[in-house]
């Protein structure tokens, strides 16, 4: 049995190898679930969602303030996840232009944190394809 698990969902659907599609201007729900299967509580820590575009030439563009907007915060602060407990971070994003975007989901330890499960540091990047809205 794994010591921890994590799931990333877009509009309620688990992220897999395919790009999640959304409409420009419509909110896209993002949920990150973290499960602690260790015998001890872990935390405090923060989880941050960072959007970027991959130009397929080794360059990542993180300056997307005019292309992607968060509904609420892009960072979630969690005090602790109890043994055998689960915590979920819920947010939403608006894509203002069409294109292919990616979301890095990063966990940041507080200097006083107990050891966080290593798998939480390996959350997958989420591929989002923002499409023109229906007329």
One digit per residue, the tens of pLDDT, for the chain of length 135 reads 344 467 888 888 888 768 899 999 999 999 998 888 888 888 888 899 999 998 878 888 899 988 999 998 999 998 888 888 889 999 999 999 999 999 998 888 766 655 777 777 777 789 999 999 775
Query: How far from 56 is each of 1, 72, 125, 131, CA to CA, in Å?
Result: 37, 30, 15, 19
How confident is the model at residue 2, as a pLDDT?
41
CA-wise closest residue to 101 among 11, 7, 21: 21
Encode pLDDT of 25-58 as tens digits.
Answer: 999 999 998 888 888 888 888 899 999 998 878 8
Residue 49: left if φ>0, alpha if ψ -120 to 50, beta else—which one?
Answer: beta
How confident is the model at residue 114, as a pLDDT?
59
> Edge-to-edge strands of the sheet including 4-10?
13-14, 4-10, 28-36, 86-95, 68-71
**Omega into 40 within 30° of 0, i.e. cis?**
no
**Which CATH number covers residue 119?**
2.60.40.10
Q: How many domains does the chain have?
A: 1
Domain that holds residue 68: 5-131
How confident is the model at residue 111, as a pLDDT?
61
- Angstrom distance (rounded) from CA 10 to CA 92: 9
């Amino acid at each position: 049995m794994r010591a921890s698990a994590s799931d990333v969902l877009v509009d309620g659907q688990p992220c897999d190898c395919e790009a999640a599609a959304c409409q420009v201007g419509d909110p896209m729900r993002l949920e990150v679930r973290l499960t602690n299967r260790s015998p001890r509580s872990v935390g405090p820590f923060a989880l941050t969602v960072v959007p970027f575009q991959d130009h397929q030439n080794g360059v990542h563009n993180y300056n997307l303030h005019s292309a992607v907007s968060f509904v609420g915060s892009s960072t979630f602060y969690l005090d602790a996840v109890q043994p055998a407990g689960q915590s979920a971070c819920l947010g939403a994003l608006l894509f203002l232009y069409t294109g292919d975007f990616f979301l890095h989901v990063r966990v940041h330890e507080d200097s006083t944190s107990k050891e966080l499960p290593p798998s939480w540091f390996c959350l997958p990047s989420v591929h989002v394809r923002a499409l023109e809205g229906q007329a």
